Amino acid sequence: MHPDSQIYGFTDSNWGGGTEKKSFSGSLFYFHGALGWRAHKQKVVALSLAEAEYNALTKSAQDLSWIKQLVYESTNKELSCVVHSNNQSSIAIASHPIYHHETRHIDFLLHFIRALLEQQHLQLKYLPTEKMPADLLTRNVPLAKSIPHLKSILSNPELTSMGE
């Protein structure tokens, strides 16, 4: 699908990075260029990195749904949404709605993302950590590693060969 007909995001999370052991999430959103970002401390303590990343994916999906509706109301265009994550476990949890013993404790509200996937309102794509621009929003990144991310953020990361 042509990038002009997509709204896409990049999401990342650390695991238990704060003094309260709550994870930090970061997301970047694009539609015809950089559109917005979010960096916040998660409200719950995640029991694994996969859960922290799943929380971040869900929040990004909520934000993208709102952006999609806003674009539709102003342009009357129906757009697709794509979220890039660097955590394959969180993508699997969202994409395969079966009972997993390891994830039984995850709040049902977080399964909002599953409904979006089932209705084909959202796609999830894996992106390796070294190419994840949202990494800058979740932890201190050394300058040498942050420069490629900054260049990606200021350009159009979906179009700059993200390693699909």
Region 150-155: mean pLDDT is 80
**Per-residue pLDDT band at 160 (split at 50, 70, 90):** very low
Region 19-35: mean pLDDT is 89
pTM, whole model, 2 decimals?
Answer: 0.77
- What are the boundaries of each domain within the chain? 3-159
Residue 13 bridge partners (DSSP) = 25
Provide the residue type at 74 as one letter.
Answer: S
Evaluated on CA atoms 123, 85, 113, 26, the torsion sign reads negative
* CA gap 89, 95 in Å, rounded: 10
DSSP conformational letter for 107: -
Q: Which tops the pLDDT comparison, 109 or 19?
A: 19
Evaluated on CA atoms 86, 116, 157, 66, the torsion sign reads negative
- List, for residues 32-80, the tens digit of each pLDDT value: 888 899 999 998 888 889 999 999 999 999 999 999 999 999 989 889 9
Q: How high is the pLDDT of residue 155?
A: 76
- List, for residues 99-117, the tens digit of each pLDDT value: 566 676 776 656 788 888 8
Region 13-30: mean pLDDT is 88
Per 3-state DSSP, the chain is made up of helix, strand and coil in percentages (nearest 5) of: 45, 20, 35
- List, for residues 126-148, the tens digit of each pLDDT value: 999 888 888 888 888 888 888 88
Q: How many CA atoms lie within 13 A of 35 on its CB side?
A: 18
CATH 3.30.420.10 fits domain 3-159: yes
Q: How high is the pLDDT of residue 154?
A: 78
